[in-house]
Amino acid sequence: GESVGLHLPTLSVQEGDNSIINCAYSNSASDYFIWYKQESGKGPQFIIDIRSNMDKRQGQRVTVLLNKTVKHLSLQIAATQPGDSAVYFCAENMPGGYNKLIFGAGTRLAVHP
């Protein structure tokens, strides 16, 4: 398949371990944050989102934590599986009239059996 990112930071984990992917966002006024998963050669796929009035949100096997004090976002994946191997992007919504998302550079997650 096509390579999404050749020089991205990589997080390597063992199958079954928990994964934590971190993201620093840029604008303290951002009010909406979203995590996407992108497999090689495919479009990004929604994982979970969170609004700025929340600190934590849980989905199925995933949790997003938002620390507005230090402008930090994290994605926790429980019991990581080989199918979780992909590039993960965080994005923030810049307030001001339309749904503009600013994407981070991404982190590659490599899950080893």
Partner 1 sequence: DGGITQSPKYLFRKEGQNVTLSCEQNLNHDAMYWYRQDPGQGLRLIYYSQIVNDFQKGDIAEGYSVSREKKESFPLTVTSAQKNPTAFYLCASSASGAGGYEQYFGPGTRLTVT
DSSP string, 14-26: ETTS-EEEEEE-S
Which region among 3-11, 13-21, 58-66, 72-80 touches partner 1 (by CB under 8 A)? 3-11
Residue 95 binds partner 1, judged by CB under 8 A: yes
Structure tokens at 52: 């700025």
The footprint of partner 1 on residues 34-63 (CB under 8 A) is: 34, 36, 41-46, 49, 51
Task: Indicate which single residue of 19, 75, 88, 104 sits in contact with partner 1 (rule: CB under 8 A).
Answer: 104
Nearest to 34 by CA among 103, 108, 84: 103
What are the DSSP E strand ranges found in 1-113? 10-14, 19-24, 32-38, 45-51, 56-58, 62-67, 72-77, 86-94, 100-103, 107-112
Residue 98 binds partner 1, judged by CB under 8 A: yes
**Would you call 1 helix, strand, or coil by DSSP?**
coil
Task: Indicate which single residue of 15, 17, 31, 55 sits in contact with partner 1 (rule: CB under 8 A).
Answer: 31
Per DSSP, 67 falls in state: E
Residue 25 binds partner 1, judged by CB under 8 A: no
Residue 110 binds partner 1, judged by CB under 8 A: no
Please report, as ranges, the residues that interact with partner 1 according to CB under 8 A: 2-8, 31-32, 34, 36, 41-46, 49, 51, 89, 93, 95-101, 103-106
